[in-house]
Amino acid sequence: MINYSKTIVFYNIYITLMVPYAIVAGTATRLGLTAQQVTDLTALLAAWSPAYSAYLAPATYGRLTVAQINLLYRNTKAYCDGLKQQLKNNPALVLTEMDYIIFDIHKDASPRANIPAPEQQAIVALKAAHHLNNEYRVWDAANPTKAGKPTDVRRIKVFLLVLIATATPPTIDLLRLDMTVGSMNFDIPFTEDQIGKIAYVAVCFSNDSGDGPMSPIIASPII
C-alpha cells in the first residue's frame, strides 16, 4: 500500500484551486498582486502539477518523486503563506467570502464570551515514520480514549523545529508554527536534506478565542 501524505494531497487541492483564481487579471488587480507575483504563482503551479502527477501514479511513486513533491510543498507553502499574510495585512483590501475560502485565510473573529480559549492540554505522539514523512496522532490529555477533537476546539496548531541529531533538544519557545490542521491525525512532509535529523514537534488546541496549553515536545527521527 502506497503511503500518500494527506498533507500533500490536501495541498494539491488548495494550490490547484487558488492559483487559477488568483491569477485572473481582474482578481489579481483587485487583490493588489504584482505582475511578478502572478508570474511566480503561474510558475509554482506549472512545477507542481507534473510533480504531483508523478507522485500520485503508482508506476512512478518512489523515493525521487516523494523527495521532489515534498521539496516543492515546502517552497510553495512558504511563498503562499507569505502571500496570504500580505492579503490579510493590506488595510486597503476588503476580502470577499470567496477570497477567505480560496486562500484559506482565517478570519480574526471577536472572542465569544461563552466560548473561552481551550483549557485542555493536547498530547502528540508519533504513529509512524516513513521515508520523508512522519505521521502523528493527537489526544486530549484529560480524555485520551476520545477520538475526536474536544468540544469547542476548532483546530490544532502544529509547531516544529528540525535539528541535527547531536544538537541539544530545544525548549518550547524555539519551535515555530508549521501548520494548522483540523484532524487529530496529521502528517509532516520533510525534505531530503533533513534525513538523519530529528523533528521536534509540539501541538496545542485552538479556537477563535485563543490557544490552549502546549503539549510536551516529542522527538521524531526523519528517515
Cα separations in angstroms, 178 against 34, 72, 143, 196: 26, 15, 25, 20
Averaged pLDDT score across all residues of the chain: 95
pLDDT single digits (tens) 182-210? 999 999 999 999 999 999 999 999 998 99
In CATH terms, 122-221 corresponds, of 1.10.10.10, 3.40.50.12780, 2.60.40.1180, 2.60.40.10, to 2.60.40.10
Distance CA 223, CA 219 (A): 13
pLDDT at 127 over 90: yes
Indicate yes or no: pTM above 0.85: yes
The number of beta carbons lying within 10 Å of the beta carbon of residue 216 is: 12
Domain boundaries, the chain: 6-102, 122-221
Q: What is the pLDDT of residue 202?
A: 98
